[in-house]
Amino acid sequence: MTDLTALTLAEALDGMEKKLFSSAELTNAFLDAIDKANPKLNAFVVVTADRARSQAKASDAKRAAGKAGPLEGAPLGIKDLFCTEGVRTTACSGILGEFTPTYESTVTANLFRDGALMLGKLNMDEFAMGSSNETSHFGPVVSPWRRGNDDAKLTPGGSSGGSAAAVSADLCLGATATDTGGSIRQPAAFTGTVGIKPTYGRCSRWGIVAFASSLDQAGPIAKSVEDAAMLLQSMAGHDPKDSTSLPNALPDFRAATKRSIKGMKIGVPEEYRVDGMPAEIEALWQQGIQWAKDAGAEIVPISLKHTKYALPTYYIVAPAEASSNLARYDGMRYGARVAGKDLTGTYEQTRASGFGREVQRRILIGTYVLSAGYYDAYYLRAQKVRQRIAQDFRDAFTTVDAILTPATPSASFALGEKSADPVAMYLNDIFTVTANLAGLPAIALPAATDAQGLPLGLQVIGKALDEESVFAVSAALEKAANFRAKPSKWWM
């Protein structure tokens, strides 16, 4: 039999429907693959093997009874930011201890409603704060990719590094992820996978551990644009439990991946050509532009002139919201409590020992920019610059249907290479963070490999609520790129 783990989600569902194999067989194949790979990659922090096997059996029965859901029997990985009932959820932070939710996040509940099953919880940067997975309480994820024959450990990116590594290494058919500044798209770009952050509000944030509430969005990491569309279809949808959840009906995302892009206007923003960007990234971008032209799209130069201010804006807005959201971790109602000399001392000790360094740094920045006397100078100003950035996009979208950019300013880097310099690490998100600030849908897809054999990604950004154009353009680029590179499975 062919290697079941190498199938795309669409292929696997098709294979089960044609009775070529069962969900039980598929699930066992993934559990075996996880057993072999996880000691080296550290992608999963919890493996729910028994639960997955019993869910697979139930799925097979449902399919046999003609009651298969759209994702029936598909084994997925779930980022540890999503609360999963009865399964430890820690956001990969020490402060949550052995927290085991008594409820299910809306996004995972939607996936399970449609028949998907969970293989386990995926590693990530602590509270999704990081771009290399090095801030995880459970240690970094190691990328399945290597630079040629060099065995240096590379980062799969972050914060959804476990999700990206697991999909790339064929440890699941697809995975949930979240994106606050690029946490779906940067790891997807680093690992040769597809990741989409939908319009803010498409996916309910209910039951997802909060980082920065006005920026956080869930989305899938998948093996193809079509797979990403199918997963998003199930994950998204209105949820009364999240007041920012959009009431708009969901279009057929999978159908959008089959659309022609002939006659579409695709914007290319000059400001994304940043100083110090490697020639390979520039070449990839030009190649992407050519592919879009070949598919019949019209390329339109555009200007997003506040782009350079997006990251500094983000590093006020996100820490401010995080410092407020993370105030709840006081050791009283859940998580690990560390006693101090009095109540305040207990709070201070609990938080100092439970939060990692990057999280503490961001809480302090957030507290500082919100503190008396600084609010106007920092937070209010940042929200105004954010409006400028969003306005740039609104202006651009009066003339174009979608925007094409590189996904990241570099390929994956080695673990430890950037962890000493927070600002150098933050610059990873330079091309992705704008879509979070403006609330827009954006996808990263693999387009080429660099001279060392590492994946490089392109990004397509769309209008608010227009994921369909994003899927159409990215599917056309995916077809043209015909990206077939896979990691060598050196861990086997």
Partner 1 sequence: MNRLAAAYKPRPMSIDEKTVRKVAKLARLALPEERVAPMAAELNGIMAWIEQLNEVDVDGVEPMTSAVEGLSLPMREDVVTDGDNPERVLKNAPKSEDGFFVVPKVVE
Question: Would you name the residues annotated as active-site residues?
Answer: 79, 159, 183
CB of 240 to partner 1, least distance (A): 7
The residue count for binding partner 1 (CB under 8 A) is 82
Site for partner 1 in 135-194 (CB under 8 A): none
Binding range to partner 1, per CB under 8 A, among 36-44, 225-233, 410-418, 469-477: 410-418
Helix H or strand E segment including 266: strand 265-269
d(CA 295, CA 277) in angstroms, rounded, equals 27
46: contact with partner 1 by CB under 8 A: no
| Residue numbers 330-349 binding partner 1 by CB under 8 A | 330-337, 339-340, 342-349
User: Is the CB of 119 or the CB of 215 nearer to partner 1?
Assistant: 215
Phi, psi of 31 (to 5 degrees): -65, -40
Could you tell me which stretch among 111-119, 121-129, 170-178, 350-358 binds partner 1 (CB under 8 A)? 350-358
Token look-up 């500094």 returns 312
Subset of residues 191 to 220 that bind partner 1, contact rule: CB under 8 A = 199-201, 214-215
263-292 positions binding partner 1, by CB under 8 A:
274-277
* 353/370 Cα distance (integer angstroms): 24
Of residues 53-112, which lie at the interface with partner 1 (CB under 8 A)? Answer: 97, 99-100, 102-103
Stretch of 5-13, 25-33, 44-52, 325-333 contacting partner 1, by CB under 8 A: 325-333
Least CB distance to partner 1 at residue 398 (A):
14
Residue choice 67, 273, 384, 489 for contact with partner 1 (CB under 8 A): 384
State the number of CA atoms in the 13 A half-sphere of 491 facing the CB.
24
Task: Label residues 270-307 b or e (16+ Cβ within 10 Å = b).
Answer: ebbeeeebeebbeebbebbbebbeebebebeebebebb
Q: Which two tokens stand for residue 153?
A: 């450990």
CB of 307 to partner 1, least distance (A): 12
Whole-angstrom distance between the N-terminal and C-terminal Cα of the chain?
Answer: 18
In terms of DSSP bridges, do strands 402-406 and 455-462 run parallel, antiparallel, or are they unpaired?
A: antiparallel
Query: Given candidates 8, 28, 244, 287, which one binds partner 1 under the rule CB under 8 A?
Result: 244
- Residue from 363, 454, 458, 481 touching partner 1 (CB under 8 A): that is 363
- If binding is defined by CB under 8 A, does position 414 make contact with partner 1? no
Q: Is the bond leading into 159 cis (omega within 30 degrees of zero)? A: yes
DSSP string, 94-107: GGGTT---SS--HH
